Amino acid sequence: MPRTLESQITMEKTPSYFVTKETPHRISAMSQETKLIVVVRDPVTRAISDYTQTLSKTPDLPSFQDLAFRNQTLGIVDMSWNAIRIGLYALHLENWLRYFPLTQIHFVSGERLITDPAGELSRVQDFLGLKRIVTDKHFYFNRTKGFPCLKKPESSGSPRCLGKSKGRTHVQIDRDAIEQLRDFYRPYNVKFYEMSLSLSQHSLNPQDFQVEGVHVVRPPPPRWPPCRHFSAATHFSSFLSMHR
């Protein structure tokens, strides 16, 4: 991490931070005031997106079902496959909560980042204690790309969209496999959604985690005092770490 002046914020983004066992301990040893931002999306869509990305680099990859299930007939999911494991947000979060209070963690909805990028970024700016500088006027919807793009980045006078590897058409996976994976993730999603409910900046959509209609328990407000400073974040889940 570079040295940072009192008025500056250092940000670092590494997709694997959120799911790497040793990371919370290492980051808290560096600074307990680090603020953490995690971009999450429906874990089933996330797994298919992950597979689509790997397939584009490794065309002879086994099928999604072969990798996702130990035994698909019995519905036994292979939790050791990274594309599946990463979406077990509740488990990863529990590991982080051993080192950081929930108030220092902010979840960005990957789905809303596409439908309402300015809204998601308002919450990020609030969480970081920043003035809301990034707003609606910075984005436009690019029909060709099918995603929001930046109107005019600071560094150039022309609009900028994310690259071709972001927002690819996903590999088609059969309905049954998707349903089996939804069933598999449901308890983890419910737990994760419940944990996130105690955040004042809570913005996760119940539909994105298939928890609508499920009885979720709102946990008591966190015991920790609100943080003064912060820092850090993860392929949906993206993980960004920010340090002041």
What residue ranges bind ligand PPS (CB under 6 A)? Answer: 15, 49, 113-114, 147-148, 162, 166-168, 235-236, 238
What counts of helices (H) and strands (E) characterise the chain?
A: 8, 8
Radius of gyration of the chain (CA): 19
**Closer by beta carbon to ligand PPS, 64 or else 236:** 236
Query: In the complex, what is the shortest distance from the CB of residue 148 to ligand PPS, in angstroms, rounded to a whole number?
Result: 5
For the bound state, the minimum distance from the C-beta of residue 167 to ligand PPS, rounded and expressed in Å, comes to 4
Report the 10 Å Cβ neighbour count for 232: 31
CB of 215 to ligand PPS, least distance (A): 30
Closer residue to ligand PPS in complex, CB, 113/227: 113
- Partners of 76 in beta bridges: 71
Q: How far apart are alpha carbons 51 and 84 in whole angstroms?
A: 10
Query: How many whole angstroms from its chain centre is CA 216?
Result: 21
**Shortest approach of ligand PPS to residue 152 CB, angstroms?**
15
Contact 33, 4 (CB under 8 A): no
Query: Which ranges of 99-222 would DSSP assign to H, the alpha helix?
Result: 110-115, 117-127, 175-197
Residue nearest to ligand PPS (CB): 49
Q: Given the complex with ligand PPS, which of 167 and 206 has the nearer CB atom?
A: 167
State the nearest-atom distance from the C-beta of 219 to ligand PPS, in Å: 28
First to last CA, the chain: 10
CB 159 within 8 A of CB 151: yes
Closer to ligand PPS by CB, 103 or 109: give it. Answer: 109
Q: Which is nearer to ligand PPS, 35 or 235 (CB)?
A: 235
